[in-house]
Structure formats: C-alpha cells, structure tokens
C-alpha cells in the first residue's frame, strides 16, 4: 500500500493587474456651499451682495481604467489601485479649471486625484458678466477660505460609505497647487500671517505647494517660511509680463527656506499662461517637472521619484532649468498687464 501523500497547496496568483503606466481620466462635479460668507459683485462701488453664501462648483478628476484619451464623465474610479494622493488646484483670474485641462489631466494619468473649485466671482464667466474689467479680482482675498472649505468638505466625503470618493482619496497625501492668482491664493493659505486661522482649520496638513507664476497676495502681508514637512515648487517665465519675475521670486524667497525641498523652475521666453495650458515647448517640461515633484513630495509608492528626477525633468537648454537654492534672483520683467488670452475651456 502506497504511503499517503501530503497535498501541497497551490500558489494562488494575485488577480490584481500591474499598476498601469497611465490611467484614463474620469470627471465628476460636486458643489460645496459655505453659508457663512457672501458672494459680492465688485463691478459696482460699493460692492453689492450677489448671494448670501459662496457656492463652489468643483470638478474632481480621478484615475479610471476606462480606455480613451479624453475626459470620461462619470467613469468608474480605479479604486483597486487607490487610494490616490490628492492635488487641490486653484485657477487664475478670468479663467476656469478647464483652462488647465492638459496639465490637470497629466497628473491624473500619473495617479493623482485633482480637485479644482470654480471660484464664484473671478472666473471667466463672472468676469464676462461683470464687464471684463479688473474689479472681480478683489475677490482673491476670499479664495484662501474657499480652498479651505473644499478641503474641509472633501475629507469626510472621502470617508463616507457610499461616496464615489470612498477608497479613492489618500487624504494623508495632499498637495495644493495654483497658477497666477491661484498661486497667490495657495501661498496665502499655506504661509501668510493673515490666513493663519484659516490654515489652522484645515483637517489635514498639505505636504506640497506648487506656486505656478504666483506672487504674494498683497502689500504688507507677512509670510512664514515653509515647515520641514512641506515641499515647495515655484515656476516663472523670464518673459512673463503679467506676473513679474520680481513678484514670483519674492514669494519664493519668503516661503522656501525651511522646506523639505525647495525648487524653482525657470521657463525661458514663455508667456504667463501658455506653459500651463499646452503651449510648446514649455508645457511638456512643466508637465514632467510638476509630476515628478508630486511623486517625490507625496511619496507615491508605485512611482517613486527623487530630487534628481525632478531636476533632470526640468533641464532643457534654451527652454527651462531648475534651481534648488532657497533664494532666487532673475532679470526683472516688469508688469505690463499682458496676461495673454483667457481660455475657459480648451
């Protein structure tokens, strides 16, 4: 009689596919409401109240496994690969989040969720409605609190069972990014003394700040240097006649010391908006540098990046270079108000 044999359990191969080289882009819109602050019309003096509350219509772009190069409305989230790090994005004056679609989508394809509110007064549509003048830009002082509202609403939504964000957001890995006035707003929320109480109200501590062609929010506002738990990336063009190089470097010099990483991407010969909405040859550099910076500063497990990776991504002769000093000096451009053509929806 043959001796009994011991069955050896078969090794069960994981059915989870490999992490994609690039995700598709799903998009949904949610609305956050702050009933404690009014929305004002700055086109008249004194400003009149348009609404007793602030309504923040917010697009959420997220990784999906659905194929396609476009943005897929309501596509199923790729939660099997989540949760994903989060980028809160602030748009500039007289544009919308969709203006930056090429850049935001590139972050999503790399494995980030991008949350972008439409500011209620100085967006493109409100700017047109208020006569295309400069008056609505005064609302920028309300926008650090707008970003804080989005973060405060987003965190419990990400934890709520049944929410499409449940299992999708890693709220321990949050970056704040903005371009032009949006960068001013991000810088103010994270570093300005005037917004210390708003900053303290955030339920999470951001780990990265991307200040894309930004400046200090106003004269006489004090700024604190970044903490060692936060990394800072600033960008600016040598021919930006909307946001001067002096303004960009002043903000960077105020906040970069003390940061875990501080980098300044210099773009040669670019306009104010073009490097962020697809203009060649600068946009591919911005896309690579910002993505590598996010991967590094948010410690992305599947796509680890180092400081050398970020620097290498930004070195292109005649187009861009990356500086890593805590203080930067660039040739002065002045500010002629030449901010380029607004595109609400590419």
Residue 15, pLDDT > 70, answer: no
Instruction: Report the range of poorest mean pLDDT among 5-19, 78-92, 260-274.
Output: 5-19
Please tell me the predicted confidence (pLDDT) of residue 9. 46
Three-class SS state of 197: helix
Q: How far apart are CA 212 and CA 204, in angstroms?
A: 22
Degrees (nearest 5) of the Cα angle 187, 321, 268? Answer: 85
- pLDDT class of 8 with cuts at 50, 70, 90: very low
The token pair at 224 is 């604190």
List, in order of start, the domains of the chain with CATH numbers: 24-323 (3.40.50.1820)
Residue 322, pLDDT > 90, answer: yes
Summarised one tens digit per residue, pLDDT across range 69-102 is: 888 999 999 999 999 999 999 999 999 999 999 9
Q: Are strands 24-34 and 39-41 parallel, antiparallel or unpaired?
A: unpaired
Q: How far apart are CA 122 and CA 18, in angstroms?
A: 43
Q: How far apart are CA 266 and CA 270, in angstroms?
A: 10
């Amino acid at each position: 009689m043959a001796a009994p044999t011991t069955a050896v359990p078969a090794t069960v191969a994981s059915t989870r596919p490999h992490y994609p080289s690039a995700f598709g882009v799903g998009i949904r819109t949610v609305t956050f409401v702050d009933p404690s602050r009014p929305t004002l019309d700055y086109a008249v003096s004194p400003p009149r109240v348009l609404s007793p509350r602030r309504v923040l219509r917010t697009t959420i772009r997220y990784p999906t496994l659905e194929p396609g190069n476009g943005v897929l409305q309501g596509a199923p989230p790729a939660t099997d690969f989540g949760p994903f790090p989060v980028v809160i994005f602030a748009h500039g004056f007289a544009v919308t989040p969709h203006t930056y679609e090429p850049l935001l989508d590139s972050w999503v394809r790399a494995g980030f969720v991008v949350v972008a509110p439409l500011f209620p007064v100085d967006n493109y549509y409100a700017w047109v409605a208020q006569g295309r003048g400069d008056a609505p830009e005064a609302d920028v002082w309300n926008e650090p609190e707008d970003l804080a509202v989005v973060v405060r609403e987003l965190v419990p939504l990400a934890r709520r069972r049944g929410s499409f964000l449940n299992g999708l957001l890693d709220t321990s890995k949050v970056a704040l990014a903005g371009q032009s006035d949006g960068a001013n707003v991000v810088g103010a929320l994270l570093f300005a003394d005037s917004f210390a109480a708003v900053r303290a109200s955030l339920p999470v501590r951001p780990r990265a700040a991307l200040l894309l062609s930004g400046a200090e929010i106003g004269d006489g506002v004090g700024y604190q240097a970044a903490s060692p738990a936060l990394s800072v990336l600033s960008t600016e063009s040598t021919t930006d006649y909307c946001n001067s190089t002096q303004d960009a470097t002043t903000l960077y010099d105020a906040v970069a010391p003390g940061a875990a990483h501080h980098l300044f991407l210099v773009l040669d010969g670019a306009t104010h908006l073009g490097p962020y909405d697809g203009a060649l040859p600068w946009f591919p550099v911005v896309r690579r540098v910002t993505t590598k910076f996010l991967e590094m500063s948010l410690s992305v497990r599947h796509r680890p990046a180092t400081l050398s990776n970020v620097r290498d991504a930004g070195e292109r002769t005649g187009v861009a270079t990356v500086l890593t000093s805590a203080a930067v000096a660039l040739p002065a451009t002045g500010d002629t108000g030449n901010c380029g053509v607004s595109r609400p929806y590419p």
